[in-house]
Amino acid sequence: MHRVNHYRVDETLGKVDTSFSNLRRRRKRMLLIDHLSIKQGERLLLQDVSLAIERNEWVCLVGASGSGKSLLVKSILQMLPATLQSTGSIFWNDQEIEAASNTCSIYGCEIGYIPQQYTTSFAPFLTMDAHIRDLFASHDQAYDEDRIRAIMAEVHLSEELLYRYPGELSGGQLQRFCLLLASILQPKLIIADEITNALDVLTARQVTEWLKAMIGQTSSMLWVSHDLAEAMTYADHILVMKDGRIVDAGDREHLLTSTDPYTQSLLQAAPVLKRKDRLEHVITR
């Protein structure tokens, strides 16, 4: 069945229509961002960003370093520094997050986060098991040993690592524990910020495949990446960011034929997409 492209592209103006009025018509939306802009003094860092994510949908945010991807993530998570000023609104299940009284239950329980800077995500004096137990306790949930062991097996972590401290683990192991912590409470949305950087190619693919399978069952994903080929392999919808703006958006087929100059430059910079066999794999996946 053909899926409607929720991010209409105006070919004559070269602009992406992600307007709030258009996005509100989507029935199964969970996360909704309405005309979000962020400034530092007079400098505009994020400009008029609007987007929506549905249930069981994988949305990928693609762009070069400094394009505003991580800043947008921090906005969603209410982690912006006090020196930045923002306008616009962010809604979670039709409730504005900033005004919500239950933000503690939203983050960690309903929205899971896998950070890019994973090495600073753990207390050095707590074992990995203690981190997991603290997460369950902070959300008044019972420690689920069976689920923990199942996820550890899926992401290739041996059970003995539970009783080690962060300083005793490799970067890849810490990254996978971040993934475990983000998914263990079965959130409705997972935000993953450049999470495959510390993983070898095989493990990165296995982790991504596991996340994709999980998304189809229970959760949605906002996947942040600089890798357009990766985005086109896994995502249902792709948003292209440049200089703090969404300059292009759509599914794989749209991006492959996009007339946007920046999207074209990303395609040309991804050699794997130039091979016909790989291109067909991306389109039909």
pLDDT at 4: 33
Q: Which tokens belong to 11? A: 């070919």
CATH code of the domain made up of 8-110+187-284: 3.40.50.300
Contact, 162 vs 129, CB < 8 A?
A: yes
pLDDT at 99: 54
**Burial of residue 256, with CB atoms counted within 10 A of its CB: 0-12 exposed, 13-18 middle, 19 or more buried:** middle
For residue 208, the model assigns a pLDDT of 83
At residue 268, the pLDDT reads 84
At residue 97, the pLDDT reads 83
The pLDDT assigned to 105 comes to 64
Task: At 285, list the tokens.
Answer: 């996946």
- pLDDT at 198 (0 to 100): 65
Q: In the chain, which stretches have pLDDT less than 70?
A: 1-28, 99-105, 198, 215-217, 271-285
**What is the domain partition of the chain in residue ranges?**
8-110+187-284, 116-185
